[in-house]
């Protein structure tokens, strides 16, 4: 079983030898205000057991059948991470089963790589707090090394902020995508530095445009520039690493427009692009369970006292099993 | 014109041409289908202009850089140099020192190259020639200059980099840049990162 609670979603997933048996979640209602970590954590703690139980029911199994537990140890919001950590440690102790802390970003990437059946792809990881281009590296241990990344905020957070600023409801990237469907292009900043990129320039500019330009035009143009920046950096990394496979994961991988742009790259260079379903791209417990299962199968062992959280846990610090 | 494709990068294609009686290179920025047209055009035009400007300025600084013959909307016509790229040959401390001296000239003129690796330096009969100003910046600070050093450092062996720095020391203001390099390396982001080169 895997527990995810790094941000707005509390998720519990159950996997068995790489197959997802259950993937239940409850999401903090975001409204037009965004998230206050303490409030979200409170919400999670009141829903956690319900979600765990729903996952067991869905998988048609009992707690006593669970062989190992894993939880998201970071990156994420401290109070939220703590809820998942606490539940997992409690379950590990009462059931006397092994426990594994999992890096949230690695979980997103690994579930995509697993289902897209890719061995050593170039990875475009796009989520709320993070946006990175990575590739597996064996030195000094097996991990995702960062080839390029955002120099400031994640693309998802940028879209969420924009939604909030424009008063869209829910204040979410998906609302930006919806508004963008009716938009036309206005000039926006575009910042790519080699394989790195930056999103605050676009956000500041778009915020200044609010009230002057139509919201749908702002949404459309922000998406066009932000996603094209990601595509350009990815394309550069593709050439550099000679990759013919791109694994795209994280919440923003649900974006239709981003998928269209990547399909264009795929047509131009003959690269294969791997995705998972939206349900598995959004924050979820199954991805944590999948990585946890791999870890425990390869003999990973941790004492309860080693099961900490790290709000700033970097993707490239996590060992990949 | 008889354009012969000799190299394909992420954003441009490089063609060789001999029809004007002098050996030419054409660096053409390609249309990207994932960018909407207006944006794509302004990016390609802006970068072509910026690259041409940096190359001219670099040449004025006395650095060994291909001479520009003409600049189109999305393409630069330049003198074709003869030699092998540094990344494809075995090179020693002498070449490294000379490459460092070239970077010293660029930095002294306020130009940070942005992609200073053995993949973008050609060994010619008159020493290393610096190419690909596609990511170059003019008037940037020590940080941008330090990134040039960092990229080179990650691409070569330690003793070679020492020779490189000997050449680079011709730049009067080299000390603060070296200090910046140490700062950057201490910061997490670059420490964990493997800056790869082609
Ligand atoms: N002026 C030139 N003379 C000879 N060869 C060149 C010249 N300019 C570029 N090339 C060749 O083309 C390759 C790619 O050029 P470059 O400007 O680095 O493009 P890119 O931006 O695609 O990396 C170089 O590595 C070099 O082999
Ligand atoms: Mg080049």
Does residue B193 carry a pLDDT above 70? no
Q: Let me know if A160 is exposed, middle or buried by CB neighbors in 10 A (0-12, 13-18, 19+).
A: buried
Domains of chain B, by residue range, sit at 3-79, 84-197
Q: Which of B10, B35, B189 sits opposite A228 (nearest CB)?
A: B35
- Name which residue sits closest to atom 27 of ligand 1, judged by CA: B85
- pTM to 2 decimal places: 0.90
* Distance of CA B45 from the midpoint of ligand 1 (Å): 19
Instruction: Judge whether residue B91 has pLDDT over 70.
Output: yes
Q: Which band of pLDDT confidence, cut at 50, 70 and 90, is reported for residue B185?
A: confident
CATH fold of A2-107+281-317, please? Nucleotidyltransferase; domain 5 (3.30.420)
**Beta bridge mates, B122:** B85, B129
Main-chain phi, psi angles of B68, to 5 degrees: -85, 135
CA distance B30 to chain A (A): 11
- Give CA separation, A215 vs A158, A165, A259, B36, B39, in Å: 15, 10, 23, 19, 19
Work out the pLDDT band at B189, boundaries 50, 70, 90: low
Q: What is the mean pLDDT of chain B?
A: 92
Q: Where are the domains of chain A?
A: 2-107+281-317, 120-275
Q: Which two tokens stand for residue A32?
A: 């037009």
Residue A162 · residue A240 · CB < 8 Å = no
CA distance A157 to A128: 5
Q: What is the ipTM of this complex?
A: 0.87
- Distance (Å, whole) CA A103 – CA A101: 7
Beta-bridge partner residues of B8: B13
Contact in structure between B11 and B63 (CB atoms under 8 Å): no
pLDDT, averaged across chain A: 95
CB pairs under 8 A between A and B: 70
Which class is B84-197 in CATH?
Answer: mainly alpha
Q: Which helix (H) or strand (E) holds B67?
A: none
| Residue B6, SS3 per DSSP | strand
Considering only CA atoms, give the Rg of chain B: 17
Closest residue of chain B to A231, computed from CA coordinates: B34
Calpha distance A20→B45 (Å, rounded): 49
- B3-79 belongs to CATH 3.30.200.20: yes
- CA dist B144 and B102 (Å) reads 16
Give the number of residues written for chain A. Answer: 321
- pLDDT (0 to 100) of residue B194: 44
In angstroms, what separates the C-alpha of A146 from chain B's closest C-alpha? Answer: 6
Mean local confidence (pLDDT), A74-80 = 95
Whole-Å CA distances, B185 to A112, A220, B150, B160: 32, 38, 8, 18
B80 ligand 1 Cβ < 6 A: yes
Q: From the list A137, A225, A317, which residue is nearest B39 (CB)?
A: A225
CB contact under 8 A, A267 and B36: no
Contacts of B88 (CB under 8 A, 6+ apart): none
Kindly give the distance from the C-alpha atom of residue A19 to the centroid of ligand 2, in angstroms, as a whole number.
44
> Would you identify the CATH topology of the domain A120-275?
Nucleotidyltransferase; domain 5 (3.30.420)
Atom number of ligand 1 nearest to Cα B83: 4
**A162 CA to centre of ligand 1 in angstroms:** 40
């Amino acid at each position: 079983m895997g527990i995810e609670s790094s941000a707005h979603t509390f998720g519990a997933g159950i996997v068995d030898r790489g197959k997802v048996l259950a993937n239940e979640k409850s999401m903090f209602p975001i409204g037009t205000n965004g998230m206050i970590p303490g409030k979200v954590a409170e919400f999670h703690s009141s829903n956690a057991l319900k979600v765990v139980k729903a996952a067991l029911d869905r998988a048609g199994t009992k707690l006593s059948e669970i062989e190992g537990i894993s939880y998201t140890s970071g990156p994420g919001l401290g109070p939220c991470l703590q809820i998942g950590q606490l539940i997992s440690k409690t379950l590990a102790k009462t059931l006397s089963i092994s426990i594994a802390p999992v890096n949230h970003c690695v979980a997103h990437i690994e579930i995509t790589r697993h289902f897209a059946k890719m061995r050593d792809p170039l990875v475009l990881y796009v989520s709320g707090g993070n946006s990175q281009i990575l590739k597996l590296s064996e030195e000094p241990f097996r991990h995702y090394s960062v080839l390029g990344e955002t120099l400031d905020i994640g693309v998802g957070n940028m879209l969420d902020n924009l939604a909030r600023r424009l008063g869209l409801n829910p204040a979410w990237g998906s609302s930006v995508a919806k508004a963008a469907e009716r938009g036309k292009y206005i000039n926006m900043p575009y910042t790519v530095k080699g394989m790195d990129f930056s999103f605050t320039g676009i956000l500041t500019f778009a915020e200044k445009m609010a009230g002057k330009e139509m919201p749908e035009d702002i949404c459309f143009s922000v998406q066009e520039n932000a996603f094209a920046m990601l595509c350009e950096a990815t394309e550069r990394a593709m050439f550099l690493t000679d990759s013919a496979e791109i694994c795209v994961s994280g919440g923003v991988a649900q974006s239709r427009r981003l998928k269209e742009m990547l399909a264009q790259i795929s047509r131009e260079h003959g690269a294969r692009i791997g995705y998972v379903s939206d349900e598995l791209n959004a924050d979820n417990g199954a991805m944590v369970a999948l990585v946890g299962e791999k870890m425990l199968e390869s003999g990973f062992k941790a004492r309860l006292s080693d099961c900490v959280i790290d709000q700033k846990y970097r993707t490239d610090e996590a060992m990949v099993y | 014109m008889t354009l012969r494709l000799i190299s394909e990068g992420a954003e441009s294609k490089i063609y060789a041409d001999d029809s004007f009686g002098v050996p030419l290179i054409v660096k053409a920025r390609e249309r990207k289908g994932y960018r909407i047209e207006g944006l794509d055009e302004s990016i390609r035009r802006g970068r072509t202009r910026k690259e041409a400007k940096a190359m001219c300025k670099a040449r004025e600084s006395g650095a060994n850089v291909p001479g520009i013959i003409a600049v189109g909307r999305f393409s630069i016509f330049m003198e074709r140099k003869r030699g092998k790229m540094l990344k494809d040959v075995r090179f020693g401390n002498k070449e490294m020192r000379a490459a460092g001296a070239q970077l010293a000239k660029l930095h002294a003129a306020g130009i940070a190259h942005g992609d200073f690796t053995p993949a973008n330096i050609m060994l010619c009969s008159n020493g290393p020639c610096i190419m690909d100003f596609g990511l170059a910046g003019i008037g940037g600070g020590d940080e941008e200059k330090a990134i040039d050093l960092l990229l080179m450092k990650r691409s070569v062996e330690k003793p070679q980099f020492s020779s490189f720095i000997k050449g680079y020391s011709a730049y009067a203001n080299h000390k603060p840049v070296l200090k910046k390099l140490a700062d950057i390396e201490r910061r997490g982001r670059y420490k964990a990162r493997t800056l790869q080169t082609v």
